[in-house]
Amino acid sequence: MARPTRSNDWGFPRWRGYGAAREAEQVRICDRHGCDAPGNCPAPKSPNSRERWHFCAAHAAEYNRNWDYFQGLDAEEAAKREADERRDASGFQDSAFYGWGGPGDGTRSRDEMRALSVLELESDADFEAVKKSWRRLAKENHPDVKPDDAEAANRFQAIQAAYEVLKSAEERREWRPD
């Protein structure tokens, strides 16, 4: 005896999508008051809590901008947690820089090459030359030496940033066991 009704998902091609059902799908609404957009971005209600808010993309962005990971912790607990996070993530620090992957002669990253050009140095300059050039340019463009000169102030900030980039790269090289 034949079945009185047929489902429409038999044979090929499949007439209905996989996992699709005929009944209405439950849609969670954004938890922000007054918003009726779908809340498809879960966010924790507090640190170490399994409870979640469900926001739309716009309100999730606002929530993330104001999120404080250390909220509700005293200074000692926050410092301990930060130290633990840094210790656990330190294994990824080696992967942040590969000398062979950058431009130039293969020993410096693109940011380091830009910093060297700001300090008016060649790509093969050592760190002593970086220090000398940084001191010279900082003295020339310091805001105390050239007050009321916005261009010199911007140049001084660029020189400071370039020095910080090269200093941190040098510290990474010294720290890395070969």
Is residue 78 included in any domain, yes or no? no
pLDDT at 83: 87
Cα–Cα distances in Å, from 174 out to 3, 5, 35, 56? 78, 76, 53, 46
Q: How far apart are CA 81 and CA 126, in angstroms?
A: 37
How confident is the prediction along the chain (178 residues), in pLDDT tens digits per residue?
565 566 655 656 556 666 656 666 778 899 888 999 998 888 888 767 788 888 998 888 888 887 777 777 888 988 998 888 877 766 666 555 554 444 555 677 888 889 999 999 988 888 999 999 999 999 999 988 888 888 999 999 999 999 999 999 888 887 765 5
In a domain, 20, yes or no: no
Q: What CATH number is associated with residue 133?
A: 1.10.287.110
Residues 111 and 154 in one domain: yes
Indicate the burial class of 169 (C-beta count within 10 angstroms; 0-12, 13-18, 19 or more): buried
- At 102 the pLDDT is 47
Q: Are residues 65 and 102 in the same domain?
A: no
In a domain, 1, yes or no: no
Report the distance separating Cα 155 and Cα 15, nearest Å: 65
Domain assignment of residue 150, yes or no: yes
Number of domains in the chain: 2
Residue 53 domain flag: yes
In a domain, 9, yes or no: no
Q: Which of 16, 38, 72 is the last residue of a domain?
A: 72
Cβ 109 vs Cβ 168: under 8 Å: no
Q: Based on the fold, state whether residues 62 and 102 are members of the same structural domain.
A: no
Domain that holds residue 68: 25-72
**Which residue type does 77 have?**
E
